[in-house]
Amino acid sequence: MKLEELNELDFSNIGNWPDAVKAFLVLVLCVGLGIGWYYYDTEEQLLGLEKAERKEQDLREEFKRKQVKAVNLEKYKEQLEEMRASFGAMLRQLPDKTEVGELLIDVSQTGLGAGLEFELFDPQDEVQREFYAELPIKIRVEGGYHEFGKFVSGLAALSRIVTLHNVTVTKQFKKDDGASNLVLETTAKTYRYIDEETGK
């Protein structure tokens, strides 16, 4: 078929067109319908399928994580019981309100027993926390390096918890003979369990 014959085709009488042209026209219409159908319906379904596949993958990963936890559930329960027992033991190391005074005496005696000279021993106001209270004590002691070590070791050996914060050690010269000594300044904190029932 020649190009001139294509220009002479009558669009009002498609049935008389040559078979090759009709076949080409049907092919173009089918391709056009396929593309139109894809964009109208299939593309949205494919996007939905891809989204569903991603969600399935996420759910599989979550299932694997939960399965691992479920397999180890008994071990987690044992660990929880150990942690509760350990926590209870730590709580027993916190003095109650009546024992705080004795603990302050223990801290003071530990310093004196180490050979330190107290320049300041000033218990501050109690600071309330979630289930315990902090009792900070500002301390300034004078002595030697080894006495400081003995003092800190003595605090660590107490049956109750005492921690040291903001520790500074400075050299101090005496005016009368020019000799020097070390001064340790720190805030010692001891802790008290707050009874949940009484809130005190």
Residue-wise DSSP of 74-142: HHHHHHHHHHHHHHHHHHHTS--GGGHHHHHHHHHHHHHHTT-EEEEEEE---EE-SSEEEEEEEEEEE
C-alpha to C-alpha distance for 185 and 140, rounded to whole angstroms: 4
Instruction: Find residue 189's DSSP bridge partners.
Output: 136, 163
Per-residue pLDDT, 2: 54
Per-residue pLDDT, 168: 92
C-alpha to C-alpha distance for 118 and 136, rounded to whole angstroms: 16
CATH number of 95-193, picked from 3.40.50.360, 2.40.50.100, 3.30.70.60, 3.10.310.10: 3.30.70.60
Q: In this model, does residue 197 exceed pLDDT 50?
A: no
User: C-alpha distances in angstroms, 157 versus 15, 106, 153?
Assistant: 108, 11, 6
With beta carbons less than 8 A apart as the criterion, state whether 136 and 127 touch: yes
Which residue has 């003979």 as its token pair?
A: 177
What residues does each domain of the chain span? 1-71, 95-193
Q: Percentage of the chain surpassing pLDDT 70?
A: 79
Tokens for 107?
A: 């801290």
C-alpha to C-alpha distance for 51 and 67, rounded to whole angstroms: 24
Question: Hey, what's the torsion of the CAs at 28, 32, 35, 36, to 10 degrees?
Answer: -170
**pLDDT tens-place string over residues 34-53:** 887 777 777 777 788 889 89
H/E run at residue 60: helix 43-71
**pLDDT tens-place string over residues 173-189:** 766 665 678 899 999 88
Mean pLDDT throughout 121-146? 85
Please give the mean pLDDT across all residues of the chain: 79
Per-residue pLDDT, 65: 87
Contact partners, residue 170, CB within 8 Å, separation at least 6? 182, 183, 185
* pLDDT band for position 194 (cuts 50, 70, 90): confident
